[in-house]
Structure 1
């Protein structure tokens, strides 16, 4: 196993472990939070829009992890400069924008909800803004990787 294969294998293992953690959040933690909220406040459904946003982020993040896995497989097979890799990068960027949308949706909902409850939403909103910043960095990085790859593929098409 050469260094490139070892690095790709290591990153695949990390992607699988992160995927298991996301699955655990979706299967165990989010339903448990909804159950606790339903027991503490029966008839209050204010948590459900936030759960929809959380599941949206988890599902989108799972799609990103799958695309990362496919991208690493392409790199292992020496197909890093292929249409499949470009497609994976485009999809990761689109998913990053979807995550930003879900986080913004949750922030707006929290802001509206706190107008009625009088709570201070500064903590959750600041965490959401940090999440948006991190996701924006990922989207920008995917765009930076996507443009040279597209140029290489265009050059290959011109030469063929």
Structure 2
């Protein structure tokens, strides 16, 4: 399967830029939000569980981006139907479920906190549900991509 190098280079550049954006969120925006919240409410630690979930999502998303980058490298080298490609897809799929887990944790925390404070958490919860939907779609796509690779690898004779 011959793939034009320009398309994979373009995708790698996009992945790299997204990775830089995730790094900026982790290094600048999340600590800045925590700092501002600590100044406004010095004795309130209710933001910390959400920060933990946000960092969990960012780290897991970064691992998935790295695996996608590796997968594109395998495609460039015509190793699309290899055990390494299948392994990268498996890790990406695990990352999608981990992101869903962190989003669900944040939703549960927001819902419980809303019960005690009387806040309206419908907006953030609906954004979380949309994130779960998008991540589930990615997991389904990865699963669809995994099956033909697994079938091809299973049909090849094993060299022992």
Q: TM-score, normalised by structure 2?
A: 0.96
SS at 2:120 equivalent: coil
Aligned residues: 159
In structure 2, the residue matched to 1:125 is: 125
CA deviations over 1:87-146 (Å, ceiling 9, x no partner): 000000000000000000000000000111101110000000000000000001000000
Structure-to-structure mapping, 1:78-93, within 5 angstroms: 78-93=78-93
**2:115 counterpart of 1:115:** yes
SS at 1:129 equivalent: helix
Alpha-carbon offset, residue 156 of structure 1: 1.5
In structure 1, the residue matched to 2:144 is: 144
In structure 2, the residue matched to 1:7 is: 7
SS at 2:157 equivalent: helix
Q: Aligned partners of 1:141 and 1:154: how far apart in 2?
A: 20
Q: Aligned partners of 1:157 and 1:77: how far apart in 2?
A: 22
Q: Aligned partners of 1:68 and 1:158: how far apart in 2?
A: 27
Q: Aligned partners of 1:25 and 1:12: how far apart in 2?
A: 20
In structure 2, the residue matched to 1:77 is: 77
* Aligned Cα root-mean-square deviation (Å): 1.4
CA deviations over 1:34-53 (Å, ceiling 9, x no partner): 00000000010000000000
Structure 1 portions without partners, runs of 5+ = none
SS at 1:65 equivalent: helix
Q: Is 2:111–2:121's contact at 8 Å kept on the other side of the alignment?
A: yes
In structure 2, the residue matched to 1:55 is: 55
Q: TM-score, normalised by structure 1?
A: 0.96
Alpha-carbon offset, residue 4 of structure 1: 1.5
Q: Aligned partners of 1:29 and 1:158: how far apart in 2?
A: 50
Alpha-carbon offset, residue 3 of structure 1: 6.1
**Displaced runs of 4+ in structure 1, greater than 6 A?**
none
